[in-house]
Structure 1
């Protein structure tokens, strides 16, 4: 991270409309000293939804912010969130729905969803969506019925333009780790999930972000060459319809810290991720007083997860994709 870039973004406190690599999203407004992850932008770029949680991620809430000129508004708890363990929002490619996962009871009278793994019990997740009308008003959450929600561990949904739903989960054919799945849209609704073949299931794969035309897919994991706990990878659809070998994204996207929750923005090559990267502390440092120490330790670069924006358009062009081909 370059100090002049960090100083610049701290002054403007916004997400730029032009594709620059490594911009912190809304420092002090969206990205704070708390835990933020899983950001999604509406197709017109005017509305931003994301999740904020405690550091242990036991209490997740979905927030919404709106573009105000060159800035983002102070986030508010989304009208459909704030009571349950709600997380990982994503816009449908047409912007008419926001999908998210939650432990809320699937139907009136049901118990909240609970998951168990390795002897531990914690809030589970099912897939839900809310409609958004032409005036930006949110409807009531709708539970997505069907085989996709038969378990209790579905994470980071991402929708293709044809209605196919990609997500990560731990299912009987996942091996020891999480894998990426797709539930394809049919005339009868969503079909039973299929595991997306990205290679050996001994690798952990989470948080898919699908190109609306399903030409490429991004995810978080470790294919054996991760720089940190998890990095962002990309795989391209081959002429025979299969997925190519996942490629570790080069450049500044990945670091020695944790990167996860990739999502695609409305512009060509616009990529958002969550990362807990922070500047290296060098000693001796400028001596802190109590106020300066508090400002630094409670700021967005304190080691909590923040939201970052990158440009991967060169990677897409190298694989023959253009802005027109990847438009929503």
Structure 2
């Protein structure tokens, strides 16, 4: 199961100074404050981020109440929702990878929105910036039910569900369980052939907590970020990438939610792939060092109704590294009219 972090676009014209990049905020606790334009539930470390696209998208994150059968009260669930909902086209719902957040979409989301799509970026239960103070379960079943209740409460129409990395497993699991909620599927660098975290289910709790402590560590974050992309910019921007990918880990319930997911066994959708009846787009970076693009051909072959597109000179996260190419592929997949508008 790959660790997926987020990054800034390598084509940004602005390179922050060392003084700006490494300034220290007053606190890393939750509560950036409305005076900064950020929602108050984000960790204060968001103030240290210099990535303009990340800042813009972070300011649009909100929490919507989602009622589920496994939580006493509604879960305030984080997402970025469209400025205007439509009725004529299917909404596009963007998931994210393992241990990530909706900030993963900060470059592609604006492109899709500017092209006229109704785009949602939704945090998967247990990750992102939702309020999990009551510690609801974060196993596969809970993630699936939470996404369904989010969909039925706010989206309410068949959606184009987009899943990068482990988000592809989330999308397959959801589409097989609730086919009526999905019109099409897009998989990006899909992590769908892992057999979950079964090896951890028999260990005492301190073992996965130790693993989560390592997962949060700076050396592992640096390594994972380096592996996720084909091209790495200078050290200052690279460190900013790591800060963005680490932001959601500062929420006080992140460790408990991640351990709960790991102890539950994680995702194993290998047998469900051939059950997917929806039309699918499989996108893959040709230079993916986390999940071999050989799996792209296997997934394309096993899905009953799929097309395959490769993104050249690109690593594991094409929607961050090559956002314009990904946006064009999605627009072409959703409909030619939207693609023409984008051009």
Normalising by structure 1, report the TM-score: 0.31
Q: Which has the higher strand share?
A: 1
Q: Which has the higher contact order (CA 8 A, sep 6+)?
A: 2
- Normalised TM-score (structure 2): 0.31
